[in-house]
Structure 1
Amino acid sequence: MKSILAFFGMAMLCMASVWSQNRQLLYDFYEIPQSLMVNPGVKTPYKWHAGIPLLSGISSQAGTSGITVNDLFANDGIDFTTKVRDRAINGLSRRDEFGGSGQIEVFSGGFRGKNRPDDYYSFGMYGEGFISFFWPQDLAILGFEGNANNLNRRFDLGDLATQGEAVNVFHFGINRKLNDQWNVGIRGKLYSSVFDFRSIRNSGYFVTTEGQNNLLANTIVADLELKTSGIRELLDILEDDTIAQSEALPRWLLERSFFGGNLGLGADFGFTYKLNESTFITGSLLDVGFIYHSNGLENYTLDGAVTNEGIEIFLPEDLFQGNNDLWQELVDDIEELVPYDTNQDAYISLRPIKLNASIRHNFGNNKNPVRSSRGSFDHCDCTPGKSGQRNDFFDYKNAVGGHLFMMNRARGPQAALTAFYQRRFGNILALKTTYTVDKYSFANLGLGLNLQAGPVNFYMLADNLLGYRNIADSHYASFQIGFNIISWNDN
């Protein structure tokens, strides 16, 4: 138990220190090269870019959709047990989720093709992960109230749903300007899984009814499974006091990250379509892929059905037989009918597919500012030349629009809807503000800042700014920062 707690503690610490699921602030913010990661078909006004290793993209996200720390622990004069009953047990549903995610870029870069200047190639490696736990509504009620006053109520074992992973991703993408209207892109990915656990296809129930030989009869019908890869190896390292964990753990993480674990393939797709001179439609489909888990496996199952009326004692003979292990017989009977088992069967995990779509309208007097080779902007009415020789300039001073995000999860798709306003201030600063509605918050205000100092690019994006007034009472928080070196188009 100590090692399991240590594992989950370390996993949550990693998530807190390093991929926000919905990156609406970054999406279509094309001054930032990392926008290619959420839409491979975004505009690319760069000749080349290079991310500062380990600093080009650091992001994290954490959220709770139904309850906050403040809801339970605020000094409001309400008894703690009452708050647990009203706000957690009776206030949460099986769709409420607790979780966090994170991403850190190890290295990244991109360059424009010398012979094909309409093509922009990008590449890199990043590590990402997430942990998700859905509230087990029926089992929480069972644990809080017991079964004595819940006769004939079926408690759904399918409420159990949790998953998590850490994975290293190697990627290479091509962004192509087809013509004056279309930009399209595709990115191939190779996944190297560090660890994975998932228990999301559970079913069954527990019910208490009136018994025939005893007062009550308990029935359990279970089809539960927890699949893991890499977890057992990690716990063995954490449990072994004879090895130097400061050396063994980094070595194990390095091996699993660089093709020593379970491998998979995936792809991202994206486009930008120009409706007219000031209106654009974009879309992307991310992480269409899978990982095949074949080593470091440890799977757990509970499958079967049993009805038991407890221990039947025949008086007075059973009462005085000291060697009669009635409890052990009860346990053996239940285990025989509802067997708990482990196996090392290989399995495939599908990637959490994400969908983005947006519409954007640019306005304001901005005469096609073009970055020159000296790093400043010249203002001109540039006419497109032959293919590949057109300047990819920042064609807006102000922009407004909407953004839709969807992601497949264990309890079905999750969606978020965002309205945004974007503004450039001269040649150095660009800001983006967002208002997002999702399952975590109906008042999520975000702010993104992009600063360009010569070739050095710095960006910082933060969500749910109102929540920072009281973190303990916030349902959601996310941020992303990074540094890049950029050489802009100047042909």
Structure 2
Amino acid sequence: MRHLKSYFAAILLASACTASAQEALRSAYFLEGYNYRHELNPAFAPERNYVSFPILGNFGVGLNSNVGLSTFVYPINGELATFMHPDVSANEFLGKLRNVNHIKEELDLTILSFGFRGFGGYNTFSLGVRETASFSLPKDLFTFMKLGQDGPTSHYNFKNIGVNANAMAEVALGHSRQILPQLRVGAKLKFLVGVADFNARISNMDVTLGDEKWSVRADGEVNIAAGNGLKVPTYAESGKHYDNPDDANLIDWDNLDYDSFGLGGFGAAIDLGATYQLHPDLEISASVLDLGFVSWNNAVHGKTGTTSWEFDGFDKVAIDKNSPNYDTNNFDQQLENLGNDLEDAVEFHRLSDGGSRTTGIGATITLGAAYTAPFYRGLKGGVLFTQRINGVHSWTEGRISANVTPVKFFDASINYAISTFGSSFGWIINIHPKGFNLFLGSDFQIFKVTPQYIPVGNINANLQLGINFTFGSKPKKEVLKPLLPSW
């Protein structure tokens, strides 16, 4: 059991310290001078034609989680210790957790992007790389890790433990146009080249710890794809020792190999968006992003075993060091074997190798409304709702913002969000005179850290910057007749 707990703890701490580049800033959704609004809604058109500085056109680092590093690491006697330390009380640790704990990191790196007016509207092109990794971990899992057997019998049930990671390259072509004085629509077609995909999920796991018997029953599956260079051997193929013939097709993670690069699959997706001017002072908008799929080749599929693992005590423990079976039957060795056997309770049997598998890439819905202050046209209030739909890795966010454009070449936003990952403060400064664009901003800001510089509360932080070159003139804005009564 010590090994199983350590395994989960290692995953947790590693993921809680991960950082990555992020998608377009939602803090800039209502800033007309921000060149990458079309990534949030393809109906949006930048003010001018533009071309990005390679790689630095839209780049940043960040991480989202509804738990913090301070949830898992504690100062003990002047040093840092994990939540498994005996001096960290169970009540203190478990009181910081949610029923479902999410950790998400994303990379949406724009290598090159440009946009121009033509063909009756505005056109965009982008070449980029996207990578996502997310973890969904129920609170009961941590209760088991911290408390173990608490009393004569302890029963734990974990549902929807999920780990998902994938990487792919993307080429996107977008077009938006005004089809009515009040209505603008846009669409973006994305061609996807899959690099790697890993998805593991334990849909249900029962653990019973008693004085007379321990038992574990897990129901889960794993899917892996990374091109023809990926080798996922079984115990039998790698020559690893196993006692039960049913274990011959267990996946041997220790001998996983990747000997040559190969494309993992191909796919496509579409973004759709629209904006509607209800009133000269009020605009509403909506978009659906990443409606698509990737078909993975050389895919490996595995499932957990159909029988439960049971342990009813140690067998003939050798106490005397002179005993002929001491090396294999002493208490420490039997405890080690117990840990290894318990890990096997959540091992995966490889059921297929070299097949194909089609997956969705997770869709995002955005709904926005912006109101321009009649007493000062440079001030705009905004409300943005975002819903990510991706199974157990889904999340929701609501964001309110105040956006200001004091002069034509400068705009900024401050905003506040409440989401699956907690609350956050966002901001952006955007400088965009003719010929040049520089922006710096964040959707998530950390304000409080411990003396050891560990963030207090949830880890929600990012910082994003971009350098782009603009050309051409701004289009003249048409004065619209209000569809709603003036107020």
Provide the rounded CA distance (Å) in 2 between the counterparts of 1:64 and 1:483. Answer: 28
Q: Which aligned pairs between 1:37-436 and structure 2 lie closer than 5 A?
A: 37-46=39-48, 48-69=49-70, 72-74=73-75, 81-83=86-88, 85-113=90-118, 116-117=119-120, 119-147=121-149, 149=151, 151=153, 153=155, 155-200=156-201, 202-208=203-209, 216-230=212-226, 260-295=263-298, 297-306=299-308, 308-310=310-312, 340-342=348-350, 343-344=352-353, 345-364=355-374, 396-411=377-392, 413-436=394-417
Q: Which residue of 2 aligns with 1:472?
A: 454
The one-letter amino acid of 2:454's match is: A
- Letter of the structure 1 residue corresponding to residue 383 of structure 2: G
Q: Supply the distance in 1 between the matched residues of 2:310 and 2:100 (Cα, whole angstroms).
A: 31
Equivalent position of 1:242 in the other structure: none
Structure 2 gap ranges (5+): 233-256, 477-487
Cα displacement (A) at 1:175: 0.5
Change in Cα spacing, 1:365 to 1:54, as seen in structure 2 (3 Å) is same
Indicate yes or no: 2:29 matched with 1:16: no
Distance 1:195 1:148, change over 3 A: same
Rounded to whole Å, the distance in 2 between the matches of 1:332 and 1:66 is: 29
State how far apart, in whole Å, the 2-side matches of 1:333 and 1:473 are: 37
% identity of equivalent residues:
16
Residues 468 and 189 from structure 1, CA distance in 2 versus in 1: closer, same or farther, beyond 3 angstroms?
A: farther
Whether the 8 Å contact between 1:43 and 1:183 is mirrored in structure 2 is: no
Q: Distance in 1 between matches of 2:101 and 2:264?
A: 32
Give secondary structure in 2 for the equivalent of 1:147.
coil
CA offset at residue 280 of structure 1? 0.1
Q: TM-score, normalised by structure 1?
A: 0.74
Change (3 A) 1:234 1:162: same
Question: Match for residue 386 of structure 1?
Answer: none
| Whole-angstrom CA distance in 1 between matches of 2:413 and 2:347 | 56
Greater displacement, 34-43 / 471-480: 471-480
Deviation at residue 282 of structure 1 after TM alignment: 0.6
1:36 corresponds to which residue?
A: 38
The secondary structure found in structure 1 opposite 2:153 is coil
SS state of the match for residue 158, structure 1?
Answer: strand
The alpha-carbon distance between structure 1 residues 42 and 201, as it changes in their structure 2 partners (threshold 3 A), is: farther
Write the distance in 1 (CA, Å) between the matches of 2:347 and 2:73.
37
Q: CA deviation at 1:466?
A: 4.8
What are the Cα deviations for residues 370-428 of structure 1, in whole angstroms up to 9, with x where unaligned?
xxxxxxxxxxxxxxxxxxxxxxxxxx411012111111244364211111111112122
Structure whose residues are more often strand by fraction: 2
1:110-165 deviation line (CA, Å, top 9, x unaligned): 1211xx43x11111111121222223433332233223626152x22435211122
Match of 1:453 among 433, 454, 472: 433
Structure 2: how far apart are the matches of 1:478 and 1:71? Answer: 21
In structure 2, relative to structure 1, the CA distance for the partners of 1:50 and 1:450 (3 Å cut) is: same
Report deviation, 1:434. 0.6
> CA separation of 1:425/1:198 partners in 2, compared to 1, >3 Å: closer, same or farther?
same
CA distance in 2, matches of 1:164, 1:336: 23
Aligned in 2, Cα 1:25/1:150: closer, same or farther, shift over 3 Å?
farther
**Is the CA contact 1:165–1:194 (under 8 Å) kept in the aligned structure 2?**
yes
How far off its partner does 1:268 sit? 0.7
What amino acid does structure 1 have at the position aligned with 2:366? Answer: N
2:22 and 2:133 map into 1 onto residues whose CA distance is: 11
CA distance in 2, matches of 1:358, 1:230: 37
Q: 1:300, CA displacement in angstroms?
A: 3.8
Of 331-340 and 30-39, deviating more is 331-340
CA distance in 2 between partners of 1:8 and 1:71 (Å): 12
Structure having the larger proportion of residues in helix:
1
> In the alignment, is the contact (CA less than 8 A) between 1:59 and 1:480 conserved in 2?
yes
Structure 1 equivalent of residue 28 of structure 2:
26
* TM-score after normalising by structure 2: 0.75
Alignment partners' CA distance in 1, 2:74 and 2:326? 49
The answer to whether the Cα contact below 8 Å between 1:65 and 1:441 also exists between their aligned partners in 2 is: yes
Aligned CA-pair RMSD: 4.1
Distance in 2, Cα, partners of 1:425 & 1:285: 31
Does the CA-based 8 Å contact 2:222-2:348 persist in structure 1? Answer: no
Structure-2 change in CA distance of 1:331 and 1:403 (3 Å): closer
CA separation in 2, counterparts of 1:441 and 1:311? Answer: 44
Q: Which residue of 2 aligns with 1:380?
A: none
**Inter-CA distance 148–166: structure 2 relative to 1 (3 Å threshold):** same
SS for the counterpart of 1:263 is strand
Given that 2:296 and 2:358 are in contact with CA atoms closer than 8 Å, whether structure 1 keeps it comes out as yes
State the AA in 2 paired with 1:108. Answer: S
- Distance (whole Å) between structure 2 residues aligned to residue 43 and residue 332 of structure 1: 57
1:38-64 residue CA offsets vs partner (Å, 9 max, x unmatched):
100114433x22111111111333122
Q: Which residue of 1 aligns with 2:241?
A: none
**Could you report, residue by residue, the CA deviation over 1:209-229 in whole angstroms, capped at 9, with x for unpaired residues?**
5xxxxx623333222222222
* Distance change (3 Å), C-alpha of 1:452 and 1:315: closer
Match for 1:274: what amino acid? Q
Distance 1:331 1:195 in 2: 31
Distance in 2, Cα, partners of 1:280 & 1:309: 64
Asked if 2 retains the 8 angstrom alpha-carbon contact of 1:26 and 1:35, the reply is yes
